[in-house]
């Protein structure tokens, strides 16, 4: 048992549901007790989703506990098949239901006989993998299922597209700025003259998965989700993949150069020409993106040697560390990730760019580290933002777990050349806010004129008896003053001099009338 208040990555089924509900016309059925469908709330609220989240629960209740699910799961699957006619139904166990050890595969086999949809069982161990690992696993499972199906039916077409093309793998719902990143990646590839073959899972149809092998290469923007799929496609179809995250000027260039190398394997044969992206990289770096110029400007000079701490998922924490250290000259006192399963890769990425590396999924450890290091700014998740609030250190949010404010309506990619601008703003704003704060503290605030009294009331003619005083103290601080004023106003109007609890509530009713 572990005493825990907060966790960075959610339970496995959340990952599965995120992948399933990102595809179009795929329905997930959770084998779960009442209340476990909280995923629907998150998707509906955080993503401000207009459509009903295609996730329902086959409820595990007392009866199921006593007698087993029996027909219930099968009925729920076939019913959903009739109602929504999805292409695929994914049966998803939860931590609770996986202890029941029911033969869910059997339910799936039975249900798939009587329904038009394909039915699969999400194959994840709830006590060994977290949300991100499960998402990675599920995506691979779905892709494998459809490619093997196509192969069996002889529909598999593995000839490459005429023009260079790419699959973008790993964009999905509730991902950190994923929608914006996706748009930016599409633009980048378009600029390079590369066709987008498929984007999965977000907005993709499972029926189209058999087209995946037609792309020249796969692009995996985030390491957390998509790598397993890329490895599978490489092994089965010899498809190369690029997993350098195009975040920050340097890594975008790296990523583009790798793309160039990949497509130049085939293009002299198929198209009779070689691609050269160097002029594009140069133009974008020096003139389109403002980040390179920013790091040269005097603004950024002021940031030199300032201390920062970075924490987040492996992809974002590693990239941001590299950007801060190499592109802006900021000193990274500590960088860390909660992706413990990817520790080796992470260490290798950041070891030369920071003083210290922290791999943990315990937020108190992160908090203690921040308190000890006392950086000028933090770049982390929502948790680090709150740690920063408590310690009075500004924080830029660079990774999930996230809150609704991290699903902005405006265009805010982290990837690609526009992403570099966004990141530069984020970094600069975090630091200046910190500096401004500091200056204010030294000079005693913007407004040095003292306000004599915050309340309009004077205590001369009115007395509060001890009960009403006690009652007043129960009212939350931010409205207490207002309530006090209103009560006294009411009392004066009615020639009451002694304020009792009754007077307080009479005043409230009077006001609301």
Applying CB under 8 A, which residues contact another protein? 1-7, 10-11, 13-14, 32-38, 40-42, 44-45, 48-53, 56-62, 65, 76, 83, 94-96, 99-100, 126-128, 130, 383, 386, 389, 403, 471, 474-475, 501-502, 505, 508-509, 512-513
Catalytic residue (one of 162, 299, 355, 437): 299
Which residue shows structure tokens 């994923």?
Answer: 178
DSSP secondary structure string, 487-513?
HHHHHHHTT--EE-HHHHHHHHHHHH-
Q: What are phi and psi of 121, to 5 degrees?
A: -105, 125
User: Which is nearer to another protein, 44 or 264 (by Cβ)?
Assistant: 44
CB 503 within 8 A of CB 468: yes
Smallest separation, CB 464 to another protein (Å): 15
**Numbered residues of the known binding site:** 36, 434-435
Q: Which two tokens stand for residue 242?
A: 């690029």
CB 125 within 8 A of CB 96: no
User: Angle 284-421-188 (CA atoms, 0-180°, nearest 5)?
Assistant: 45
Smallest separation, CB 132 to another protein (Å): 13
Angle between helices 314-322 and 343-350 (to 10 degrees): 10
CB 456 within 8 A of CB 485: yes
User: Which is nearer to another protein, 53 or 178 (by Cβ)?
Assistant: 53
User: Which is nearer to another protein, 9 or 169 (by Cβ)?
Assistant: 9
Select from 1, 95, 6 the least CA-distant residue to 362.
6
How far from 73 is each of 106, 148, 266, CA to CA, in Å?
Answer: 10, 26, 49
Smallest separation, CB 391 to another protein (Å): 13
User: Which is nearer to another protein, 43 or 180 (by Cβ)?
Assistant: 43
Q: What are phi and psi of 90, to 5 degrees?
A: -105, 115
User: Which is nearer to another protein, 67 or 273 (by Cβ)?
Assistant: 67
Q: Which two tokens stand for residue 224?
A: 């957390």
User: Which is nearer to another protein, 78 or 167 (by Cβ)?
Assistant: 78
Smallest separation, CB 202 to another protein (Å): 17
Smallest separation, CB 23 to another protein (Å): 16
How far from 313 is each of 225, 235, 277, 338, 467, CA to CA, in Å?
Answer: 11, 27, 30, 6, 52
Under the phi-then-psi rule, with left for phi > 0, alpha for psi from -120 to 50, and beta for the rest, what region is 25? Answer: left
DSSP secondary structure string, 60-89?
--HHHHHH--TTHHHHHHHHHHHHH--SEE
Residue 90, classed as helix, strand or coil, is strand
How far from 401 is each of 381, 383, 389, 410, 423, CA to CA, in Å?
Answer: 6, 8, 17, 20, 18
CB 171 within 8 A of CB 233: no
299 is catalytic: yes
Smallest separation, CB 311 to another protein (Å): 16
Smallest separation, CB 381 to another protein (Å): 12
User: Which is nearer to another protein, 99 or 271 (by Cβ)?
Assistant: 99
**Numbered residues of the known binding site for [4Fe-4S] cluster:** 36
DSSP secondary structure string, 93-157?
E-HHHHHHT--HHHHHHHHHHH-SSEEEE----TTT--HHHHHHHHHHHHHHHHHHHHHHHT---
Smallest separation, CB 187 to another protein (Å): 23
CB 215 within 8 A of CB 161: yes
Select from 229, 247, 245 the least CA-distant residue to 237.
229
User: Which is nearer to another protein, 99 or 456 (by Cβ)?
Assistant: 99
Residue 245, classed as helix, strand or coil, is coil
Q: C-alpha 255: how far from its chain's center?
A: 22
**Numbered residues of the known binding site for substrate:** 434-435
User: Which is nearer to another protein, 287 or 505 (by Cβ)?
Assistant: 505
Smallest separation, CB 55 to another protein (Å): 9
Active site residues: 299
């Amino acid at each position: 048992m572990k005493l825990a208040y907060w966790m960075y990555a959610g339970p496995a089924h959340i990952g599965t549901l995120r992948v399933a509900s990102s595809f179009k016309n795929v329905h997930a059925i959770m084998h779960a007790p009442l209340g476990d469908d909280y995923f629907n709330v998150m998707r509906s609220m955080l993503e401000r989703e207009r459509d009903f989240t295609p996730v329902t629960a086959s409820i595990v209740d007392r009866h199921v506990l006593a007698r087993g699910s029996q027909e219930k799961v099968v009925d729920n699957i076939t019913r959903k098949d009739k109602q929504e006619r999805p292409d695929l139904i994914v049966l998803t166990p939860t931590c609770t239901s996986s202890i029941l050890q029911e033969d869910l595969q059997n339910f799936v086999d039975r249900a798939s006989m009587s329904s038009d949809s394909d039915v699969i069982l999400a194959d994840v161990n709830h006590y060994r993998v977290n949300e991100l690992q499960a998402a990675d696993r599920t995506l691979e499972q779905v892709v494998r299922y459809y490619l093997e199906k196509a192969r069996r039916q002889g529909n598999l077409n593995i000839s490459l597209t005429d023009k260079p093309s790419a699959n973008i793998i790993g964009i999905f719902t509730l991902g950190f700025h994923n929608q914006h990143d996706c748009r930016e990646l599409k633009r980048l590839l378009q600029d390079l003259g590369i066709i987008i073959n498929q984007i999965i899972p977000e907005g993709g149809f499972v029926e189209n998965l058999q087209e995946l092998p037609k792309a020249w290469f796969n692009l995996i923007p985030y390491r957390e989700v998509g790598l397993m799929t890329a490895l599978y496609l490489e092994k089965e179809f010899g498809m190369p993949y690029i997993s350098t995250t195009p975040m920050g000027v340097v890594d975008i260039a790296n990523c583009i150069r790798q793309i160039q190398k990949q497509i130049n394997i085939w293009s002299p044969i198929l198209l009779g020409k070689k691609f050269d992206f160097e002029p594009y990289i140069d133009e974008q770096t020096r003139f389109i993106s403002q980040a390179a110029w920013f790091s040269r400007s005097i603004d950024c000079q002021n940031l030199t040697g300032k201390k920062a701490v970075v924490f987040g998922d492996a992809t974002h924490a590693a990239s941001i560390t590299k950007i801060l250290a190499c592109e802006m000259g900021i000193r990274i006192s500590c960088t860390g990730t909660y992706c413990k399963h990817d520790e080796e890769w992470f260490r290798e990425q950041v070891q030369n760019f920071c003083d210290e590396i922290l791999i943990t999924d315990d937020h108190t450890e992160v908090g203690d580290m921040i308190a000890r290091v006392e950086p000028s700014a933090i770049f982390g998740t929502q948790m680090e933002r709150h740690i920063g609030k408590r310690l009075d250190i500004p924080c830029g949010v660079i990774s999930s777990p996230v809150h609704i404010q991290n699903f902005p309506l405006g265009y805010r990619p982290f990837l690609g050349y526009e992403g570099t601008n966004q990141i530069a703003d984020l970094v600069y704003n975090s630091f200046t806010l910190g500096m401004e704060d500091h200056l204010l503290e030294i000079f005693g605030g913007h407004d040095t004129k003292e306000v004599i009294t915050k309340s309009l009331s004077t205590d001369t003619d009115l007395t509060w008896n001890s009960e009403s005083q006690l009652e007043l103290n129960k009212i939350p601080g931010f409205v207490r003053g207002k309530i006090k004023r209103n009560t006294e106003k009411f009392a004066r109007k009615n020639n009451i001099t002694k304020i009792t609890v009754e007077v307080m509530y009479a005043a409230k009713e009077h006001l609301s009338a």
